[in-house]
Structure 1
């Protein structure tokens, strides 16, 4: 498996630059000042952020929307107010912090950071990669958090060449990213999803299985001895079945069932246990090669962020939701 340092060195080959900082200029950003439904979201004026050591600032062109956004907005996570939103963005570098090499002003990049305020006109990135020519800003912004989350879970499971992985919820954004990364590592992948998603799962390299009652029996018709590892992306209450199929709770990771993880002794994957930052550059490279893709379900202008939240919470749109800026 390629190391993060190898990917980063390969990704950043141009020279460094310096920008003049602009004092206390203001920008438009998404914010909420009280917890509640999408109606609490506002577009407000905030001071522009600036790149610190090891960071770059981008003029944001697109920013990803994630389930954590509406969990924060509804008060299920951080309790501080007011709060800004977003930690992944694609845009044009317009400011470079001290100690940063290999990127120039005007470069198109995508990454994570933003201090929780990437859904704005400007964002500071702590980890980034060039946007390949085959992707526009909207498509690029759909990748960072999805790729990092999927790769982190695979790392925690130790998925490698020759292993057999079951992905529960393989048709969603994170699930399909996990399928593609696992296939890239040389693993055999079985993915659960609705029958309507099976064609796409096959195109990603997975062997599809219908979810719902009898799922474990259907998996065993493909792999009678069970699987080596199992990843739960859907949180659909199947951790006991996954544990049995994978030969023990130590071989299962969930991204969606915190209560079940505690009950059954399964690991719940968190970013605070170490992020797979290398996955952003890897996803961009594989996307350029045509072997990695996360479809954009729908894009909304920044000012329509409330509608983006309504759409995301409804589950009516397949694929990643993205905000466009400017």
Structure 2
């Protein structure tokens, strides 16, 4: 050790006692190979202390007081500055060379803490959302859907409710999706995205889909597209991802959702255009419903250039399709917002 080599021949006088009740005696203090040696004037060794174990009893003060261990009764007083500096330097060098389990524990603790933090940030929210979505009963989904619908209608206006129009709207839903649990379709008068899916099997549609087109196949096509969109992204899951972990945890543990979270999501839905759906999925849906895809395609693009697939693959081309609605029912649906 470099520090020890520098001071190997260093000696100095000191005062040493073996027990507290003993009289202190003058000794010669010398540095050995990792030891501090106390000798009498005659050269008799009185004590050998291991330098790694030596403790400074009065740090920063002089003369310096040392002990061979923290709990030892022995005591050595050294006043020679050069000897004090040598002892301190060697003790510091030895301490730095010793393994420090505390550092390993600290590193492991930090690593574990970072791992827990990473899990909390990246894994826990996703797992919490999936758990909540899988456990949420249909009745609770329907309740949240009704709450969202209430918030939407407060922003966009009351749902259109002409009696004959509502009847025609239910017929359109049954004709498009079948009579086995068709979605509840709600028409809103204000300018909103064409359609949006809410929890509880609810589809909100713009009144433009009834008022601006000549045939009900267009309205039916937008409903089919929205059903595909809703099947690809569970509306409850979408809501929870946007609402955050706190809302998800509260819903999972108490079954309650803050109204401000629902209001915020409703506002975002009203300003968000629906994501595109594939032509293949749409064609399959039109075929299952036995509805022509051409009116819907031309409603999206009058030129037909961007919807050529829907036109060319029309599943009802050359077939006699059952009317979506009678002329009278379609007129009633077009006037659903008139009252």
Larger Rg: 2
Report if TM-score (shorter chain) is over 0.5: no
Quick check: which one's strand share is greater?
1
Q: Which has the higher contact order (CA 8 A, sep 6+)?
A: 1
Q: TM-score, normalised by structure 1?
A: 0.21
Of Structure 1 and Structure 2, the greater helix share is in 2
State the TM-score, normalizing by the size of structure 2.
0.20
